[in-house]
Amino acid sequence: MKTRTIQEGGTRALVPPVPDDGQLSISSASVFYNPEMELNRDLSVASIAAFSQIMSSRRHLEMSEITYVDALSASGIRGLRIAKEVGLNVTLNDWSEEAYTLIKENAAINDLTDKVRICLGNANALLHKERYNIVDIDPFGSPTTYLDAASSSVINMLAVTATDTAPLCGAHLNSGIRKYSAVPLNVEYHSEMGLRIMLGMIARDLARHEKAMHPMFCHATRHYVRAYLEVKKGANKTDKCLKDLGFIAHCTKCTARSVHYGMAVHIPEKCELCGEETSIAGPLWLGPLHNREFCDSVLVQLTNRELGKKEYAVKIVELCRNELDIPTFYDQHLLTKKLGISAMPMEELLKELTGDGFKASRTHFSGTSFKTNAGLKEILDILRRFR
């Protein structure tokens, strides 16, 4: 296979050349390497390092005693970075023979041959057979077909990427329903919707194995969503976790929304504000997306490392750290456009909301979005005040 050398963080790797048309697709390269995912992998290194450090100090473990698997490795770059830059006991798996050969070469050029285990086989077979402290599922497309096996395998942390943003966000509705056993809505907070639909699915998969999840840090970009979830075993913990599943009722006319916790709940059919019929999304995850202390630890890890996408990564984690635990956000531009007035500076808007006694924060989802516990009516009153 023709290859070129790339460097991410402190790790080098041989990867397939960029296709002639510059378009990356699953069929254009025999082994998939996506340079756009460097940010995702930089954040993985920092997040998994932060989590492993917490584990190692709580349980008096050496980093090399903590097991990590990248069940879908491709060139191996993700897992090799975790081995080299974090020092965990890493297993890399892929079912493609070409990927397997390339991972071996990449382990060798990083002096990791004796330190990592490389497997050729089906990710689900491996994960149903073996237990790992940290399980990473980073597929091309939807992670759902790996979630049962990953839930069976995981002991402490599950990290999951989904790149099928159109089904997740309601743009391809039937595909979303088929893959995630849930109804997403293509609304202005569709990126958060996608993340919460994926998390809802993961919570239900883990629950079948009597495991509960606690999101530590989750983020969405235009091309994917990614979640780092602490996992705990036990029926009671799992029952408690499932209480954070539910539905969102959204009014497509005025954009008011209400959240309804539970799997069998009564959801009002009419918008409480304008009386229009609501659309229902779910079941999805309504609980927190981030743990503040964990985000602080990830920030320390990012600051202390040489990373290609460090600046952007820090910005995302800082925004996530300060995001309110509220399941939807508003887009200021959409609201002011509807009102026919111009938008106010975001800091001003947040100051007005907090001045009126509400909580308010920016979000990492977009520069024009904000979260608040104020109702739509109160938000519109503030925007009109500043027209």
Ligand X SMILES: C[S@@+](CC[C@H](N)C(=O)[O-])C[C@H]1O[C@@H](n2cnc3c(N)ncnc32)[C@H](O)[C@@H]1O
The residues of the shown chain that bind ligand X, judged by CB under 6 A, are 31-33, 37, 41, 70, 72-75, 77-78, 93-96, 99, 122-124, 138-140
Question: Is residue 251 near Zn ion by the rule CB under 5 A?
Answer: yes
The 3-state secondary structure of the chain reads CCCEEEEECCEEEEECCCCCCCCCCCCCCCCCCCHHHHHHHHHHHHHHHHHHHHHHHHHCCCHHHCEEEECCCCCCHHHHHHHHHHCCEEEEEECCHHHHHHHHHHHHHCCCCCCCEEEECCHHHHHHHCCEEEEEECCCCCCHHHHHHHHHHEEEEEEEEECCHHHHCCCCHHHHHHHHCCECCCCCCHHHHHHHHHHHHHHHHHHCCCEEEEEEEEEECCCCEEEEEEEEECHHHHHHHHCCEEEEEEECCCCCEEEEECCCCCCCCECCCCCCEEEEEEEEECCCCCCHHHHHHHHHHHHCCCCCCHHHHHHHHHHHHHCCCCCCCEEHHHHHHHHCCCCCCHHHHHHHHHHCCCCEEECCCCCCEEEECCCHHHHHHHHHHCC
21 is in an annotated binding site: no
Widest Cα–Cα separation across the chain: 66
To the nearest whole angstrom, how small is the minimum distance from the Cβ of residue 81 to ligand X? 9
C-alpha span between 379 and 332 (Å, rounded): 9
- Contacts of residue 153, defined as CB under 8 A and 6 or more positions apart, other chains included, come to 69, 126, 127, 128, 130, 131, 132, 135
To the nearest whole angstrom, how small is the minimum distance from the Cβ of residue 256 to Zn ion? 5
Q: 271 is in the binding site of which of ligand X, Zn ion, none (Cβ under 5 to 8 A by kind)?
A: Zn ion
To the nearest whole angstrom, how small is the minimum distance from the Cβ of residue 230 to ligand X? 21
To the nearest whole angstrom, how small is the minimum distance from the Cβ of residue 19 to ligand X? 15
To the nearest whole angstrom, how small is the minimum distance from the Cβ of residue 385 to ligand X? 48
Q: 362 is in the binding site of which of Zn ion, ligand X, none (Cβ under 5 to 8 A by kind)?
A: none
Cβ proximity to Zn ion, 169 vs 249, nearer residue = 249
The letter for the amino acid at 108 is A
295 is in an annotated binding site: no
For Zn ion, the binding residue among 65, 210, 230, 276 (CB under 5 A) is 276
251 is in an annotated binding site: yes
Cβ proximity to ligand X, 45 vs 202, nearer residue = 45
Cβ proximity to Zn ion, 251 vs 286, nearer residue = 251
Cβ proximity to ligand X, 137 vs 193, nearer residue = 137
To the nearest whole angstrom, how small is the minimum distance from the Cβ of residue 278 to Zn ion? 8
C-beta of residue 89 within 8 angstroms of C-beta of residue 123: no
Residues touching Zn ion, count (CB under 5 A): 8
Q: 256 is in the binding site of which of ligand X, Zn ion, none (Cβ under 5 to 8 A by kind)?
A: Zn ion
Question: Is residue 380 near Zn ion by the rule CB under 5 A?
Answer: no
Q: 192 is in the binding site of which of ligand X, Zn ion, none (Cβ under 5 to 8 A by kind)?
A: none
C-beta of residue 211 within 8 angstroms of C-beta of residue 147: no
13 is in an annotated binding site: no
Cβ proximity to Zn ion, 276 vs 378, nearer residue = 276
320 is in an annotated binding site: no
Structure tokens at 242: 């499932």
Q: 122 is in the binding site of which of Zn ion, ligand X, none (Cβ under 5 to 8 A by kind)?
A: ligand X
For Zn ion, the binding residue among 218, 271, 349, 360 (CB under 5 A) is 271
If one counts every other C-beta atom within 10 angstroms of the C-beta of residue 25, the result is 10
Q: 189 is in the binding site of which of ligand X, Zn ion, none (Cβ under 5 to 8 A by kind)?
A: none
To the nearest whole angstrom, how small is the minimum distance from the Cβ of residue 254 to Zn ion? 3
Q: Strands across the sheet with 369-372, in order?
A: 330-331, 369-372, 360-362
For Zn ion, the binding residue among 46, 49, 218, 256 (CB under 5 A) is 256
Q: 195 is in the binding site of which of Zn ion, ligand X, none (Cβ under 5 to 8 A by kind)?
A: none
To the nearest whole angstrom, how small is the minimum distance from the Cβ of residue 316 to ligand X? 17
Q: 140 is in the binding site of which of Zn ion, ligand X, none (Cβ under 5 to 8 A by kind)?
A: ligand X
78 is in an annotated binding site: yes
Known binding residues for Zn(2+) are: 251, 254, 271, 274
Known binding residues are: 41, 78, 94, 123, 251, 254, 271, 274
| Contact residues: Zn ion, CB under 5 A | 251, 253-254, 256, 271, 273-274, 276
Known binding residues for S-adenosyl-L-methionine are: 41, 78, 94, 123
